[in-house]
A and B are shown apart, each in its own frame.
Chain A
């Protein structure tokens, strides 16, 4: 009886853990910000989620003729990092209730990093809110999930 109880408890905790993992992993995939200028792939490293730029509508810098790099980074020694492959969403942890928090979003246009919270409003839609200090002082962008063309 005791063994059965123990086994049931083990199975239950494993199931709950597995279910939570699946819920958090709903964030994985390729997403497009509202302006359509880039596509971002969200992946998991360790227990945290990161988003990297996998496609740019205009990948070449018209001033240099070369692939775009992170030329506005406040750290001058990192200004040669290419934008394709750039991890602009970093360090997100799943909080439950379709929210991922404690992360940051980087804007290569001006080299600014903002605190960020991600809310999944439905399976194909994310509210990505970058803010300064408090959530009220920020801007929300709606990202849509992308799938391979059939």
Chain B
């Protein structure tokens, strides 16, 4: 009797742990965010499209297994000699074809003499709907001082915390 009782309990525990949520980090590395010139004083919009690779999180992971997605890190870097000296602030948004645009990070003001900055992620934005699409668009609004004829490209490195059920 005791044996069957213990077996049932073990079985129950096993079943419960089958449905437990797993957290993993999804990285978008060195993606180019670009805008064509001429650029003018004020907010200019750089963007990049990224195709979501769910297999990178877990082999054969399906979109409907994902329970929550949060941006945990957003770094922007540049090769320009002036660094970010002409940038007043950055605002990062994320959108896709069938999900709402979410504001996910901000850095205001941007300090001088830097070639790499870390944006402050939003504590509350939820990106689940966006990550269930095939592609996402990253939109970086850069508030630029002064005009320029040139195109602008910055590199972005982003980390997302994905919570999913196995």
Which A residues are within 8 Å of any B CB, using their own CB?
45-48, 50, 52, 54, 69, 74-78, 80-82, 84-85, 87, 90-91, 104
Interface of B is mostly: strand
Q: What residues on A are CB-neighbors of B91 within 8 Å?
A: 81-82, 85
Which B residues are within 8 Å of any A CB, using their own CB?
42-43, 47, 88-89, 91, 93, 95-97, 100-101, 103, 106, 108, 120-125, 137, 139, 141, 143
Q: With A47-B97, A50-B101, A84-B43 as given contacts, are A77 and B123 in contact (CB-CB < 8 Å)?
A: yes
Q: Is the CB of B103 within 8 A of A81?
A: yes
Q: Is the CB of B95 within 8 A of A78?
A: no
Number of A-B contacts (CB under 8 A): 63
The residue that B125 contacts in the complex, of A46, A50, A69, A75, with Cβ under 8 A, is: A75
Looking across the interface, which residue of chain A has its beta carbon closest to that of B141? Answer: A85
Q: What residues on B are CB-neighbors of A81 within 8 Å?
A: 91, 103, 106, 108
Q: With A50-B101, A75-B123, A80-B106 as given contacts, are A85 and B95 in contact (CB-CB < 8 Å)?
A: no
* A-B contact sample (19 more), CB < 8 A, given A81-B91, A91-B100: A45-B95, A45-B101, A46-B95, A52-B43, A69-B108, A74-B124, A75-B123, A75-B124, A77-B106, A77-B121, A77-B123, A78-B103, A80-B120, A81-B103, A82-B43, A85-B91, A85-B141, A90-B100, A90-B101
Q: Is the CB of B137 within 8 A of A46?
A: yes
Q: What residues on B are CB-neighbors of A78 within 8 Å?
A: 103, 106, 122
A85 to B89, CA, bound (A): 11
Q: With A75-B123, A75-B125 as given contacts, are A48 and B42 in contact (CB-CB < 8 Å)?
A: no
Q: Is the CB of A85 within 8 A of B143?
A: yes
Ranked nearest first, the 9 interchain pairs of A and B with the lowest CB-CB distance are: A85-B43, A80-B108, A75-B124, A77-B123, A90-B101, A81-B106, A77-B122, A91-B100, A81-B91
Looking across the interface, which residue of chain A has its beta carbon closest to that of B139? Answer: A45
The residue that A91 contacts in the complex, of B42, B47, B95, B143, with Cβ under 8 A, is: B95
A and B contact pairs by CB, cutoff 8 A, 22 listed? A45-B47, A45-B139, A46-B96, A46-B137, A48-B97, A52-B43, A69-B108, A74-B124, A77-B122, A77-B123, A78-B122, A80-B108, A81-B91, A81-B108, A82-B43, A82-B88, A85-B91, A85-B143, A87-B93, A87-B101, A90-B100, A91-B100
